[in-house]
Amino acid sequence: MAKVQTNPDQTPGLFSAMVQDFLKYIVTTKGQSEKTKKAYKDAFRLLGIYMFEVHKVSFENITFSIMTVDRIETFMNWLSTDSRKCSAKTVNNRLAAIRSFAKYAVNHNLEAASRFQYNLSKVENKRLTDTEEWSYFTTQEVMILFDLPKHNTITGRRDTTLLPFMFATAARSQEVCDLKVCDVEFLTDGRAKIHIVGKGRKKRTVTICEDVTFSLKRYMKYRNILDSPDAYIFNTQRKTKMSVDCIEDIFKKYVDIAKKEYPDLFNFKSYSPHSMRHATGVSMVEAEVPLPVIKMFFGHSCISTTEIYAKITQPHLDQKIMEWNKSFWSTITEDSSALNASDDDSSSDDKGIPAFLK
């Protein structure tokens, strides 16, 4: 008896095989970094866990046809549940990874993936709250955090350097983890240039002030790595290279302490290491650093991303405008003819996950 031919979008194993090819493609052909590949892999690993836990379907048995609009939206809601506790921003990042795969899949097998891509187009991103997207530390809160690490411990010495360094450079967590001694250039005037490789392997150089430079150099001397160009600057007690998870734990530790000691401050519901980067942006806007300069300093791709800091600091900007108004109009005499006119004018076990996603 002849085998019944199924539609390509109903073929078991095809979805899994194309995901595996896609993860190779983004690195070898598209030139994306291993960090990007890991983020995409995490998205599909979570999708596999969801399909196994909720629908009892292993990753190898996922087909394009079963990825309906309802199922994709349910997956997004599952990511937001108490067990996963993913923020709206994280959920949207997972969805973006799957959309990127759908585009690849359509280009390689239109018949199998076209409906899948169409379904994804019907799914809306999770709405971001101001807290999730833009929590940041005020200047007073930044100074409090700087003073919390204990200088007489190994981790305290590190954190005393780490926190001001992250504020001074506006570096992302992964960028900090990747920094090596060879990426630091000490200048004769007491400052230092930090050469950072950011998202998409984009390179930028930022210069830090004398105080932060002094702290950094002192810490590197303490670790005895000044003459070791390939040594990572920040480490842990067990590993020579710090992880993003470690930095997240450090911030959680000090924010928790700060919230208890200063109950009237630290009013955002949650903070992350990225909150320090936001704090730098807010501080620079309030210091009237031009947005194009901040854009280059932060390594933003477009200035619209940088402009959010101007929105955050609206009360400060309103105050500046008020001061400007007062200064300007005070120079206008009371008898000005124009003025005196009469008219007013925010993990799991195996669960069916293939090895390439682990």
Provide the pLDDT for residue 342. Answer: 47
> Rounded to the nearest 10 degrees, what angle do helices 273-286 and 314-329 cross at?
10
In this structure, are 52 and 94 located in the same domain?
A: yes
Edge to edge, what strands does the sheet with 184-186 contain?
Answer: 184-186, 192-197, 203-208
Q: What are phi and psi of 262, to 5 degrees?
A: -130, 75
Task: For CA atoms 246, 137, 172, 158, give the dihedral sign.
Answer: negative
Query: DSSP letter at 12?
Result: T
Question: Is residue 82 in a domain?
Answer: yes
CA–CA distance, 94 with 36 (Å, rounded to integer): 12
> Does residue 81 carry a pLDDT above 70?
yes
Provide the pLDDT for residue 1. Answer: 44
Question: Is residue 317 in a domain?
Answer: no
- Do 209 and 162 contact (CB within 8 A), yes or no? no
In this structure, are 65 and 186 located in the same domain?
A: no
In this structure, are 164 and 105 located in the same domain?
A: no
User: What pTM was estimated for this model as a whole?
Assistant: 0.60
Closest of 164, 137, 129, 128 to residue 149, by C-alpha: 164
37: three-class secondary structure by DSSP = helix
Question: Is residue 81 in a domain?
Answer: yes
Question: Is residue 116 in a domain?
Answer: yes
Last-in-domain residue among 259, 291, 306: 306
- From the number of C-beta atoms within 10 Å of its C-beta (0-12, 13-18, 19+), residue 1 rates as exposed
In this structure, are 66 and 171 located in the same domain?
A: no
In this structure, are 150 and 297 located in the same domain?
A: yes
Average pLDDT over the chain reads 85
> Does residue 319 carry a pLDDT above 70?
no
Higher pLDDT among residues 160 and 336, named by residue? 160
The total number of structural domains that make up the chain: 2
In this structure, are 301 and 196 located in the same domain?
A: yes
Provide the pLDDT for residue 333. Answer: 47
In this structure, are 276 and 157 located in the same domain?
A: yes
Question: Is residue 181 in a domain?
Answer: yes
- Do 163 and 279 contact (CB within 8 A), yes or no? no
Last-in-domain residue among 103, 126, 149: 126
Question: Is residue 323 in a domain?
Answer: no
- Do 67 and 100 contact (CB within 8 A), yes or no? no
CA–CA distance, 89 with 346 (Å, rounded to integer): 10
In this structure, are 189 and 233 located in the same domain?
A: yes
In this structure, are 90 and 187 located in the same domain?
A: no
Provide the pLDDT for residue 346. Answer: 42
Last-in-domain residue among 265, 288, 306: 306
Question: Is residue 175 in a domain?
Answer: yes
For the segment 125-157, what is each residue's pLDDT rounded down to a tens digit?
A: 887 654 455 788 999 999 999 999 998 899 999
Question: Is residue 187 in a domain?
Answer: yes
For the segment 286-306, what is each residue's pLDDT rounded down to a tens digit?
A: 888 888 998 998 888 888 778
In this structure, are 121 and 145 located in the same domain?
A: no
CATH number at residue 57: 1.10.150
Domain carrying residue 264: 139-306
Contacts 24+ apart (CB under 8 A), 30-39: 31/201, 32/200, 33/200, 33/201, 35/174, 36/200, 39/93, 39/97
CATH number at residue 290: 1.10.443.10
In this structure, are 243 and 167 located in the same domain?
A: yes
In this structure, are 163 and 269 located in the same domain?
A: yes
> Does residue 73 carry a pLDDT above 80?
yes
Residue 19 exposure: Cα atoms within 13 Å on the Cβ side: 28
